[in-house]
Amino acid sequence: MKKAEPQNWSLDTLFVHGGEYIRPMQQPGAPTIQPIYTSTTYLHPDTERLDQAFEENAAGAQSFVYARQGNPNTHALEHVLAKAEGGVGAVVMGSGMAALQGALLATGLAPGSTILVAQDLYGATASLLRTIFVPLGVKVVFKDLCCADAGEIIREEEPDVVLVETISNPLVKITDLDAISATAREVGATSIIDNTFATPYLVQPLAHGFDVVVHSITKYISGHGDATAGAVISSKNSFIQQMRTYAALLGPMLGPFESYLSMRGLKTLALRMERHCSNALQVARFLSTHAAVERVHYPGLECHPQHELANRLLRKGLYGGLLSFELKQQTREAAFRFMNELRLCLPVTTLGDIHSQVTYPAISSHRNITPEERRRSGITEGCIRLSVGIEDARDIIEDLDQALNAS
Ligand SMILES: Cc1ncc(COP(=O)(O)O)c(C=O)c1O
C-alpha cells in the first residue's frame, strides 16, 4: 500500500502516478483510477469537522465542502500540474480564457494599471484585454517582446504586469524567458506566461523566474480534443490564495468530468509530446523543400532565427508540435483551396490534439484583430498554422503533399 508520494519522480512518472496520491489509496479495493465525483456537496462526520473543512478548503487542502470551491477531481489535477510546473499550487478553471482572466485579476490590476503584452498574443487574449480590461481603465501596451531589446521595452513602460507566451501563435517565435522575467522583476511587475504550446514537458517557466504560468489544458495537456479547461500555477502562495478567492467568487470552476478527462490526457503527455515534436520536425523539413511553400516557421529548423534560443530553453531535441508556413501564393483563396484538399489533417480551430490540425489564423485565432494588426504581426494572407498530430509522419506528409500539389 503506497503511503507517501515520492519527491524525485521525473515528469513522465509524475504524469502517470501523481494524481493517485490525493485520493483514498489506503482503502482495500481502492480503484486505480480516480472515480468522477459529481457531488456538489460533501459530508463531514460532525459540525466541528465541517467548520474545519471550510478553513482547509480555502487554503487548497484536500478537504471538500461545496463543488464551486473544488472537488477531488479538480484537486488531483491541480496537484499534478503544480508539481509539473514547479509551483506551490495550481487552480484549474473551465477554460484557458477563464484561467487568463483569473490570473490577470489576481495580480490586483486596477484603473491606471499598465499591462505590457506580447504583440502576437493569442487573438482571444488580445481581445480579452481590449474588450474587458481597457474599459475598466487598465492601460494595455502591445509590443514585440520576442526581440533582443525586450528588456529595454519593459524598463521604458514600467508595467504592473507583463504577459507573454512561451511560443507565439501562429509564427512560433520563442520568448527569452530569463531576460523577460528578470527585467519584469527589476521594475516590480508581475510576470505571467502562457505556456500552453510548450507544456511543462518542454519548459517550466517558473524555474526561469516567472511568477505565474497559465495553460489552456484544452490543448496538449488534455490532448484528445474532448475537454475544455485551463490552469493557473504560481511560485507564490499569496497569488494562489488570491486565485482561489477569485475562483470561488466568480465561479469559473472546472467540472469533475472535464477534470477527469484532463487528468487522463495528462498521463500520456510525455509520450505524446515526444511524438508531436519528432513529427513536427519531419513535417517542417518536408515543407521547407516544397515548391508551393514560401517559408516555414519552426524553431527546430537550423535556419530559424531563434534555433539557438530554442536549444537553450526547451527540452533537448524537442521544439514543439506547432509550426506555420506561408504558401507561395499569398492569397486567402489559395489558402482555402489548400485546406479544402486535405484528407487527413483536420481543418479545425484548435491545436495540440492527437490529430493533425490546420488553421487559417486570419479567420480563427486572429479573426478579431484588424488586417493591419495581422500584417504588423507578420501574419500574411498565405499563412497556415499546422498542429502536427501523433499519426505516422509519413501519412501527414503525404496528405500535405497531395493538397499542396492539387491547390
Ligand atoms: C495560447 C493559448 N492560450 C489560451 C487559449 C484559450 O484557451 P481555451 O480555448 O481553453 O479557453 C488558447 C486557445 O486557443 C491558446 O491558443
Residues 154-213 pLDDT 10s? 999 999 999 999 999 899 999 999 999 999 999 999 999 999 999 999 999 999 999 999
Q: Is 219 a catalytic residue?
A: yes
Q: Is the dihedral of CA 394, 395, 400, 405 positive or negative?
A: positive
Name the one residue in this structure whose C-alpha cell is 495537456.
Answer: 221
Contact criterion met (CB below 8 Å) for 209 and 191: yes
Q: Is 155 a catalytic residue?
A: no
Which cell is 207 given? Answer: 524555474
What separation in Å is there between the alpha carbon of 359 and the centre of ligand 1?
14
Q: Is 12 a catalytic residue?
A: no
Q: Is the dihedral of CA 286, 291, 297, 300 positive or negative?
A: positive
Range with the poorest average pLDDT among 130-134, 235-239, 242-246, 363-367 = 363-367
| Strand arrangement of the beta sheet that strand 357-359 belongs to | 293-297, 322-327, 383-387, 357-359, 346-347
Contacts of 100 (CB under 8 A, 6+ apart): 125, 128, 194, 214, 230
Instruction: Choose, from 23, 37, 83, 122, the residue flagged as catalytic.
Output: 122
pLDDT at 1 over 60: no
Q: What ligand 1 atom has the least distance to the C-alpha of 365?
A: 14
Residues 356-399 pLDDT 10s? 999 999 898 888 778 887 888 789 999 999 999 999 999 999 99
pLDDT of residue 20: 81
Task: Select from 122, 199, 367 the residue to mutate for testing ligand 1; criterion: most ligand atoms less than 8 Å from CB.
Answer: 122
Instruction: Choose, from 176, 194, 353, 399, the residue flagged as catalytic.
Output: 194
Contacts of 355 (CB under 8 A, 6+ apart): 225, 345, 346, 389, 391
Instruction: Choose, from 21, 66, 68, 226, the residue flagged as catalytic.
Output: 68
Ligand 1 pocket residue status of 234, Cβ below 6 Å? no
pLDDT of residue 347: 94
Contact criterion met (CB below 8 Å) for 288 and 324: no
- How far apart CA 39 and CA 37 sit, in angstroms, is 6
Global pTM reads: 0.96
Query: Which three-class secondary structure state does DSSP give residue 90?
Result: strand
What separation in Å is there between the alpha carbon of 339 and the centre of ligand 1?
22
What separation in Å is there between the alpha carbon of 25 and the centre of ligand 1?
34
pLDDT of residue 62: 84
pLDDT of residue 4: 72
Contact criterion met (CB below 8 Å) for 166 and 174: yes
Ligand 1 pocket residue status of 122, Cβ below 6 Å? yes
